[in-house]
Each structure stands twice: as structure tokens, then as C-alpha cells.
Amino acid sequence: MGTTVEKRSELYGIIGDFDSPEQLLDAIRTARSRGYTKMDALTPFPIHGIDEALGEKRSPLGYIVLCAALLGATTALLLQWWTGAVDYPLVIAGKPLFAFEFSIPVTFELTVLFSAFATVLGMFHLNRIPTFYHPTFKYSRFRGATDDRFLLVIEKSDPMFDVATAAEMLRECGSRHTEVVEA
């Protein structure tokens, strides 16, 4: 925190503003062909093919959810077995104290419940939300990203990064407003 002054002047990257998903994808492909690797796109809706263009890997969320599902099923089975057959055995209508048949509904429901929470919280974690700040919020035309504009960010962390050449390339690809954003 002692280096606030220094940090303030640090760059996050450069952002270009495009008219359509097609233009954005073209810009991403151009940037990739020129060797840029640290990029991000801000769009009002998910764009098919953008992950391939950016070289993004498949989301690992499914694995998180699978673990939660197994945990939910185990919890439900242990809960029903321990409460019914161990801690307080009570014969009701001659039914067994524990059986897989009658434990299916509750096991299923808890599996779904745990998985749903894991899906949402896992997605939050992978996306690092909730957050109240992100450098891209400082882009003067940021509101277009949740309306009808398609933004491309070339991040400063990219080894190729150079403000002048990156800005030139974004303009070449049809960016309507190219702006440097601080971290």
C-alpha cells in the first residue's frame, strides 16, 4: 500500500471498441496472429467461437460440481442411516430402519441442492465475483459492454505489449474508440 503513487500510474492495458461480434472476432484473430496472448473481450452476451479465438480452455466448473454432488449424496445417505438406524432406531409400519429404496428421494434432492450451490459459488469463485472494482470499469465507454458494444482488451501483462503498436492494431481492425486504462 506504500506504493500507491506508483501503482496509480501503472497501466492495465488498452481497450478497443467494436461494432459487432464479427468485427470483434476478426480483431481477436488479428491480435493472435500478431502474437498477443493476454487478451480479454467484454461483450453484452456470450459470443460463439470467442473462447477458441482467445485460446481459452473449457471451464473446469463441472469437476467442482461433481465433487459437490458426491458430497451431497454421501451426506444424505449418512444422515438417513445414522438418524434412522443408529441414533434413534424406531420401527414404523414394519419398515426397515434403513434401506436404499426409501432413501432415494432425499438423497437425490440433497445431491441436487449441493450441486446447485457448488455451481453458483464455483462460478463466482472462477469469475472472481462479487467484486466492486475492475480496471476495465474505468474505460470511458465501458457501459457499451453491457449494451451493444464489443470491447477488446490487450493487457499490459502481455509480453508483446506496447501502447503505440497495440493501439494502431486495434484502430486498424475497426475500433471506434481506443483508450489506455490504468490498473
Count of C-beta atoms within a 10 Å radius of residue 38: 14
* Closest distance of CB 36 from another protein, Å: 14
For another protein, which residue of 7, 34, 143, 171 counts as binding (CB under 8 A)?
A: 143
Residue 169 CB burial class (10 angstroms; 0-12, 13-18, ≥19): buried
Name the residue nearer to another protein (CB basis): 11 or 47: 47
Q: Which of 144, 139, 140 is nearest to 154 (CA)?
A: 139
Comparing CB distances to another protein, the nearer of 129 and 160 is 129
Are 158 and 37 contacting, i.e. CB atoms less than 8 angstroms apart?
Answer: yes
- Within 10 A of 86 (CB to CB), how many other CB atoms are there? 11
Give yes or no for residue 9 binding another protein (CB under 8 A). Answer: no
Can you say how many angstroms the Cα of residue 20 is from the centroid of all Cα atoms in its chain?
22
Site string (75-94) toward another protein, x via CB under 8 A = ----xx--xx--xx-x-xx-
Binding mask 102-131 for another protein (x = CB under 8 A): xx-xx-xxx-xx-xxx-xx-xxx-xx-xxx
On whether the CB atoms of residues 70 and 57 are closer than 8 A, the answer is no
Residues in contact with another protein by CB under 8 A are 20-22, 25, 40-51, 54, 56, 58-59, 61-62, 65, 79-80, 83-84, 87-88, 90, 92-93, 95, 102-103, 105-106, 108-110, 112-113, 115-117, 119-120, 122-124, 126-127, 129-134, 136-137, 142-143, 145-148
